[in-house]
Chains A and B, each alone.
Chain A
Amino acid sequence: MTDAATDPAPSRRALIGWGGAGLALGAAAAGGAVAMTRTGDDIEPAAASAGAAVEFHGTHQAGIATPVQDRLHFAAFDVTTEDRAEFVQMLKDWTAAARRMTAGKAVGEGAYGGLAEAPPDDTGEALGLKPSRLTLTIGFGPSLFEKFDLADQRPDALVDLPRFAGDNLDKNRSGGDLCVQACADDPQVAVHAIRNLARIGFGKVVIRWSQLGFGKTSSTTPDAQTPRNLMGFKDGTRNIAGTETDRLKKFVWVDSAQDAKDAPWMNGGSYLVARRIRMHIETWDRTSLQEQEDVFGRDKGEGAPVGKAKERDKPFLPAMKPDAHVRLAHPDSNGGATILRRGYSFTDGTDGLGRLDAGLFFLAYQKDVREGFIRIQRHLATDALNEYIQHVGSAVFAVPPGVRDKDDWWGSTLFSKEA
């Protein structure tokens, strides 16, 4: 959570954020007994300024506790250069470009008006579009630490994910030395951002895989309309809110004094798990309503937990089936483990067998992957939902703290020699 006191201006991500319930997928397990303390006032600035710019600078990177935008373009890169200075320069160039793009400006000298013989600096497809609340968030994968003599900087919390029951991972949709998460309300703005960063990176990094997302499936702003995932269920009912400073501090932001003694450069950062979760849409759609609701542990219309009337009523877990998704994923079933989710639905056409290649692109932030995603995902081994989903892509990243000011750059705390 951004320190409003130290930030030059209160950013929108300082105003909101909603987190909650650590859940892999599905209609949101509740974040324990945390009461909703936010008021309508918290939502309005974001709603009123849909399309506005989100402050790029801050203690933490934007795009985590920031209210979830409608669209996603996520890209994982591999580093091809062996030249540390060159890589650091690219991070600086990326930061400069990100600073401009998140403010709604074109990269470099723009998309037109330059030399006729040379390609323009900016690709131009975002010209005339609003900033659309674009956020760009960078993360460093475990494999990066094998390069540039960084091995001793790798945080203990950045573990390689173990194999989970039911995983069917495609290496071409997994891993990566670094990632950039672009979220925006306009898909063209998000795509433009990744495309321009990839272009700047040519010769230094290459895109390993990428994912487009739409229809946010988790909200960090608990407004009246909890979004639904492609299974038709409300998702993210009790995600951690951006206003919940205490829970963000407890579950999301790394505090080097307590959490990251081995990697003080991560102070103010977080850890991201990205999973491409394919849904067996067609079989799900043929499943009876009763079974669908049993699988989740909530009803489909209101989203209320079993035996309760309202979506936001506190779930009574024993009322759910033992293998119900919400029951297994709930913090109460996982020693309090809680993660902040900002997943998106995806549809990548059909799969050659006439089936929709669709599902959830799951993104979860936590201060320690071992205590967050891994703990919960292990517990989901018996999840009834597993019959209808399959994890097909996987990656984990250390997300460094925010870019403090105009002279700072992504990764400056890690590459401190150059800072």
Chain B
Amino acid sequence: MRAARLSVLTFTAVAALTAVTGCTEKGSSGDSDRVIDVTATDSKCEVSKKAFPAGHVELAIENKGSKVTEVYVLFPDDRIVTERENIGPGTKQKVTAEVKAGDYTIACKPGMKGDGIRQEVKATGGTVAKRDPRLDSAVAAYRKYAQAQADATLPLAKTFAAAVKSGDLEAAKKAYAPSRIGWERTEPVAESFGDIDPKVDVRADGLEGGQKWTGWHRLEKSLWQDKKITAEDKTLADQLITDLTDWQNRVGKADITPTSMANGAKELLDEVATGKVTGEEERYSHTDLVDFKANVEGAEKSYELLKPVAEENDAALVTELDKQFAALNTLLDKYRADKTSYDFTSYDKVGDADRKQLSDGVNALAEPLSKLAAAVVTKSS
């Protein structure tokens, strides 16, 4: 039984991998089969063919609309195969990609906003990697969620940065924790950009030799421990916005799979277990419970999206997870005035016994959550 599952898994993993890298031989550039004409307008996205051979594909795009547009080739889970931005009205662009056999979406986004106008296309030939379409839509929805979190974070981070730059200590303190919520909710995705995480979310003890300390926690120390805002802090505030903008621009391209969503949910709880429950994360501001809540919310989002598939494979696990999420959320609610507020009790006011209770709640949730990936991949057969 175990062995059978294993072989299915191996297949899925390999199929997913090849779809990502898409390393097929290059077709001849003069092969008209492999050229797709895309005509974009403000309300349409017409493609010259909806089926084409797998391999090297070229999109010949013409923007006949009045708005600047962008065109994407997307996997079924909305991950980007290739894209071209800033296609002005009346201009033509060419985009190429290597694609494996399978289903894809071509999307035009007039005004470079929203989900775009979409066309389903198919690359034919070779083996087709099939995944439960519900898992594809779960990944797509999670990708949207991650993007939305980044989009919502930027204005909050800018409010924080502005307060720092104006030298307003109290306003900066107030804006600090809210500016981190979106990041904390999507931390496993955010961390997949290995170059951004060390710039924005590193703690003093996480610095490597020679690394300059930047980001939220550096400013946290200035605000709460040093109790003053220096000229350098103001520069760091600008840097934080630059780095977060980089994250916002790239978050949609993160490599997300159903299993990475499931394990990402568990990793969020691990973050809580190792950093928040101990009070190490926000050692100066003691806003750990805000991060804690955001981590749990992020985990819950992943879980909710995967739940329909998980329920089929392991109904008992879903029952347990529902119960433990509810229990932990109820416990967290004890530390805020009302259920919509992110104004949580300062963690230095939370006693040892209460911290243990929180830790026990995290363990009670994280242990079954570690089984979610298995419940999801089993079905991807």
Contact = CB atoms under 8 A, between A and B. Distances in A.
A80 interface: yes
A117 B364 contact: no
Interface stretch (A50-58, A153-161, A198-206, A256-264): A198-206
A114 interface: yes
Contact of B2 (A109, A199, A206): A109
B6 A206 contact: no
B370 A118 contact: yes
Contacts of A204: 364
B373 interface: yes
A119 interface: yes
Contact of B368 (A80, A114, A203): A203
B362 to A, nearest CB: 10
A114 B373 contact: no
B137 interface: no
Contact of A203 (B263, B320, B373): B320
B4 to A, nearest CB: 11
A35 interface: no
Interface string A78-115: 00100000000000000000000000000001000111
Most buried by B among A80, A109, A115: A115
B6 A115 contact: yes
Interface in A63-91: 80
15 contacts: A80-B360, A114-B2, A114-B6, A115-B2, A115-B6, A115-B373, A117-B9, A117-B263, A117-B373, A118-B371, A118-B373, A119-B371, A199-B367, A202-B363, A202-B366
10 nearest A-B residue pairs (beta carbon): A118-B374, A203-B364, A202-B367, A117-B373, A206-B360, A115-B374, A117-B259, A119-B370, A202-B363, A117-B377
A199 to B, nearest CB: 6
Interface of B: 2, 5-6, 9, 13, 259, 262-263, 320, 324, 356, 360, 363-368, 370-371, 373-374, 377-378
B324 A203 contact: yes
Given A203-B320, A203-B368, A115 B5 contact: yes
A173 to B, nearest CB: 14
A48 interface: no
Nearest to A114: B2
Say whether chain A's binding surface is mostly helix, strand, loop, or mixed. Answer: loop
Contacts of B360: 80, 206
Say whether chain B's binding surface is mostly helix, strand, loop, or mixed. Answer: helix
Given A114-B2, A115-B5, A115-B374, 12 more contacts: A80-B364, A113-B2, A116-B13, A117-B263, A118-B370, A199-B367, A202-B367, A203-B324, A203-B367, A206-B356, A206-B360, A206-B363
Contacts of B356: 206
B48 to A, nearest CB: 40
A203 B374 CA distance: 19
A352 B110 CA distance: 67
Interface residues of A, number: 14
Contacts of A119: 370-371
Contacts of B324: 203
A115 B364 contact: no
Nearest to A172: B352
A92 to B, nearest CB: 14
B367 A115 contact: no
Contacts of B262: 117
A204 B2 CA distance: 27
A203 to B, nearest CB: 4
A202 B377 CA distance: 24
Contacts of A109: 2
Nearest to B1: A109
B338 to A, nearest CB: 26
A80 B364 CA distance: 10
A203 B326 CA distance: 12
A50 to B, nearest CB: 34
B273 to A, nearest CB: 11
Contact of B364 (A114, A116, A118, A202): A202
Nearest to A116: B9
A371 B9 CA distance: 61
A115 B373 CA distance: 9
A326 B363 CA distance: 46
A81 to B, nearest CB: 9
Nearest to A110: B2
B367 to A, nearest CB: 4
Most buried by A among B6, B320, B360, B366: B360
A19 B66 CA distance: 94
Contact of A115 (B363, B365, B366, B377): B377
Contacts of B364: 80, 202-204, 206
Most buried by B among A80, A117, A199: A117
B374 A117 contact: yes
A212 B295 CA distance: 34
A256 to B, nearest CB: 36
A116 B374 CA distance: 8
A217 B5 CA distance: 49
A205 to B, nearest CB: 9
A352 to B, nearest CB: 17
B9 A115 contact: yes
Interface in A196-232: 199, 202-204, 206
Contacts of A199: 367
Contacts of B6: 113-116
A218 B324 CA distance: 43
Nearest to A198: B363
Contacts of A116: 6, 9, 13
Contacts of A118: 370-371, 373-374
A109 B363 CA distance: 22
Contacts of A117: 9, 259, 262-263, 373-374, 377
Contacts of A206: 356, 360, 363-364
Contacts of B371: 118-119
Nearest to A80: B360
B43 to A, nearest CB: 43
Contacts of B13: 116
